[in-house]
Structure 1
Amino acid sequence: MRAIDIFTLPPGEKVIVDWNCRNQPIDMSVGLLAQFLVHIATNCTNFPIGYDKWQTVPAYYKDHVWDNIIKTKLEVNDDGHKDYILKSLAKKWRDHRCNLYKSLKCDPDAPRKTNIGRIPPEVPLEQWIAFVDYRARPDTKAKAAQNTTNRSHLTIPHMLGSKSFARLENEMESQLGRPVTRAELFQVGHTTSDGSFVNDEARQNHEDLVVRSQSSSKNEAHIGVFGKEHPGYVRGLALGVVPTQVYGSSSSSSSRCYSPRGTQAEVDALRQPVHQLLQ
């Protein structure tokens, strides 16, 4: 099935999405769901691009999409599934606006009339004007410059392609027959098919994780190596996971997803089959 086919499903038929214990899509559902949500997020009838940020998009649009598109085409709940899907829509909406502006070669310092004249055919004029004016504001330009600086600090690329860490985690757990740790995910996700790390920084970080894990908890080890988690996001666990799920308490939902770190031999034995899956 293609993502576009979901829109033409007969009434009453829905796509079943596979989810893990943290309400993240896994298995083959990931790609299909992602592409379906791209179609929704990039439609300016569903989510107008003229608003400053996702938080200012009126709840009417989000509720309409959830009740009349998502819930009629997917078998989902109103709790964790909804939270993940709205976060995914938010990211895809932001990415779409950024990519649209760049693809049309707009320049925030160019004359307003020039940028307005680059309007794409699928965007209503009033939305495009509001978006062009937003991008030309001094605070927006400052934020864009800061985002560019922040991206330059991301020096350790993963080797998963379009595959999420949630899907990788599920595949590893299925093959090992046990939960895996964040250190194991980091190792497999940042090594090539021959077992070497993508760069020296990735190798050093993994070595530090292993050493710190011997004298502290796995979560404390991660903070020690990578620093404090950002609000609403946990490094290496993909979209949808928030710090309270992992760091909240020893009896939190994270305890259902992780176990003490496995042996190095298990991880080495797993790496090659996983990389074959990624190819």
Structure 2
Amino acid sequence: METFFFSMKDSQGNTKKLKVKKTEVLNLPQGERIVVPFHFLDPIDEAQGVLAGFCGILATDCSIFPISFDKWPDMPQSYFNDCFDNIIKPHFHFMTTEDVSRLYAYRSIEKKWAGNRRPCGMSSKTHLRPKMRSGIMFQKKMCKTNAENRKKQTVPHTGGSKPNSRRRAEMFAETGRRPGRAQLYLATHKKQDGSYVNEEAKEICEKIQLATSQSTMDESEISPNDAVGKVLGKEHSGRVRCFGLGATPSTHFKQTKPRVGGIRIPSNDAGCSSFGCQDKYDKLLNTLKAYMIMKEGSIPEQFAGIFGSPPITPSDADSS
């Protein structure tokens, strides 16, 4: 089991270094907490490993998160809130907002509880046996599902168990430049000797390198239109490639759609490609055109780019 020196904060705000294992977190002196730095929405450095490991210990403690629930959403939110407020927060100092740290802990515990759900804490053998049989069947089903999913993974990565949040922080420390998704994808699909994991990975990586070389945008910015997005396509609603636990397009992609008078204008680049969406988009633009012309007499120059044309006058609008 790995042991690391971590920055600790005491109740007076003083910082010191201390060796800690995930199994020793609950033994910390009262008022001392492990400092967990964050990069964007994810914890980084070795503290991330201890936090994730400690969340795993909590997730498999049946006195905190019972196994009597069929699935995680059935678990009352109060169970997690009590755990976070009374166990996690007193032992970790998060270098981010509470909303972000709470979300990470929730996702981490949810994943580990679902993956390690097993019968325990039963006092009666009569109740224990069916629970054990159910637990064994569940574990066998999970193993079979995981094996099938690994077979479907045609492009394996070489990232191991290290989260990409830590990898990003290490790459930034080495180069002084923020790595984008392209750099992360390339770094995790090559072997130690520099060769690609397979031919399909080589083909994808070469396309990403080409897209990066031709890009006119800042590839360090996380965007659905960066090199990875262009090569691999639209993201699933519940994940963002090259990001870790809990990453979703709505939380990790910046909102780049223009606003007029506080109204958010949908962009064709943001996936508004269906006929219904495009029709609503055109109608909204036409309504805004008519309103601006009525109020201003023409489309102000600063808004002309939104409509993809030079400033529009009343006579232009009448002829369209």
Q: Scaled by the length of structure 2, what TM-score is found?
A: 0.62
Residue 238 (1) aligns with residue 258 (2): no
Distance 2:144 2:158 in 1: 27
Listed one character per residue, the Cα deviations across residues 68-100 of structure 1 (whole Å, up to 9, x for unaligned) are 101111113421111011101111111112xx5
Q: How does 1:69-84 map to 2 (within 5 A)?
A: 69-76=87-94, 77-84=97-104
Displacement after TM superposition at 1:216 (Å): 7.5
Q: Is the CA contact 1:233–1:240 (under 8 Å) kept in the aligned structure 2?
A: yes
Distance 2:57 2:129 in 1: 19
Residue 34 (1) aligns with residue 52 (2): yes
Alignment correspondent of 1:8: 27
Where 1:79 maps in the other structure, the secondary structure is helix
Q: Is the CA contact 1:3–1:35 (under 8 Å) kept in the aligned structure 2?
A: yes
Displacement after TM superposition at 1:179 (Å): 0.7
Listed one character per residue, the Cα deviations across residues 88-146 of structure 1 (whole Å, up to 9, x for unaligned) are 1111111112xx5xxxxxxxxxxxxxxxxxx55x5566688568669979xxx7x9977
Distance 1:124 1:61 in 2: 22
Alignment correspondent of 2:235: 229
- Number of aligned residue pairs: 225
Where 1:184 maps in the other structure, the secondary structure is helix
> CA 1:209 to 1:80, structure 2 compared with 1: closer, same or farther past 3 Å?
same
Q: Is the CA contact 1:50–1:131 (under 8 Å) kept in the aligned structure 2?
A: no
The share of aligned pairs that are identical, in percent, is 34
Aligned-pair Cα RMSD in Å:
2.9
Which of 83, 97, 101 is the aligned partner of 1:65? 83
Structure showing greater relative contact order (alpha-carbon pairs closer than 8 Å, 6 or more residues apart): 1
Where 1:44 maps in the other structure, the secondary structure is coil
Displacement after TM superposition at 1:228 (Å): 2.5
**What stretches of structure 2 of length at least 5 have no aligned partner?**
1-19, 258-320
Distance 2:137 2:159 in 1: 35
Distance 1:128 1:180 in 2: 51
Which of 92, 113, 128 is the aligned partner of 1:93? 113
> CA 1:156 to 1:169, structure 2 compared with 1: closer, same or farther past 3 Å?
same
Distance 2:239 2:247 in 1: 6
Distance 1:200 1:82 in 2: 40
Where 1:28 maps in the other structure, the secondary structure is helix
Alignment correspondent of 1:263: none
Alignment correspondent of 1:177: 176
Distance 2:254 2:28 in 1: 40
Counterpart amino acid of residue 101 in structure 2: H
Q: How does 1:193-204 map to 2 (within 5 A)?
A: 193-204=192-203
Listed one character per residue, the Cα deviations across residues 137-166 of structure 1 (whole Å, up to 9, x for unaligned) are 9xxx7x997776444322222223221111
Displacement after TM superposition at 1:170 (Å): 0.6
Where 1:75 maps in the other structure, the secondary structure is strand
Distance 2:50 2:81 in 1: 22
Higher strand share goes to which structure? 2
Which deviates the most, 241-250 or 29-38?
Answer: 241-250
Alignment correspondent of 1:165: 164
Counterpart amino acid of residue 241 in structure 1: A
Q: Scaled by the length of structure 1, what TM-score is found?
A: 0.70
Counterpart amino acid of residue 196 in structure 1: S
Listed one character per residue, the Cα deviations across residues 151-192 of structure 1 (whole Å, up to 9, x for unaligned) are 432222222322111111110011110111111111111211
**What stretches of structure 1 of length at least 5 have no aligned partner?**
101-118, 252-279
Residue 192 (1) aligns with residue 212 (2): no
Counterpart amino acid of residue 232 in structure 1: G
